[in-house]
Structure 1
């Protein structure tokens, strides 16, 4: 293993200077503002990942099924609870640190279907209602983003009954993430 102190630092690649007006020093008209078109640093490295039915995805499927088995905290809520447990391919929004931000509630048929499905979900995030859900036996908390009929996206984890603020923060962060559509990452079987 190489000692980090033995490695000489590399100089960054030289960048072409922006063309500027010789009189004012401002960027030439029609050029984008500096930083325009660069990825949002808050969401850099985030990606959508398709999970299969292999061993890697078993724990994720079990957690997704557990969140889908929860019931809305508001007893007047009419969102239907999924009648069958998830079994197949699904996609997740994964942050740069490898932690899932939200999980697609429904299964998808294949990779092409996952891309179309994600495009539909990200196209109109305002149609999704935020529902807080609770486990019947444990009282654990989580959240769904649901349309008129059923959950569309669910939280990737559960919180203790006393962690109301953490659930709210996570749900808000997930809603903000729906405003960006990250690229697709590596498929995990």
Structure 2
């Protein structure tokens, strides 16, 4: 409800209902939510493709500023993932780190990575890798390893080093990165 227009309109639901009447949006139902939800008509084919055989599971790292995270209440409701950007939290009070990237595996937020590029040394330091408490298998590990290698390339560094905690469930896949 707030994400679609980011509080641009005083009565977002009425505005979205007008878009439904014009065929520009469709109503959607989200399991576990009594709120009204809408999907823009232009992206409906992508939603249908994602729900069908055209969807391929992959693992990626999200920016702390990704739209999926911008409404913390919605992120918690839809994905059961509580995210706090700790950049402005004093170091002693941080749980995960200064710049923490959520890990999206398929359609689930499965963990987070605190990464820092040390360009002088040419190393992407993994200051901490954290799996959500419910993650019990290694399914995300190969994709996470690939995403970290891609992040290192994007950051312009040639190697990775795990300098902080790594969950046992992902340890073997990430051990080969250094």
Normalised to the residue count of structure 1, the TM-score between the two structures is: 0.28
| Greater per-residue helix proportion | 2
**Which one scores higher on RCO, CA 8 angstroms, separation ≥ 6?**
1
Larger Rg: 1
Q: Kindly indicate which of the two structures has a greater share of residues assigned to strand.
A: 2
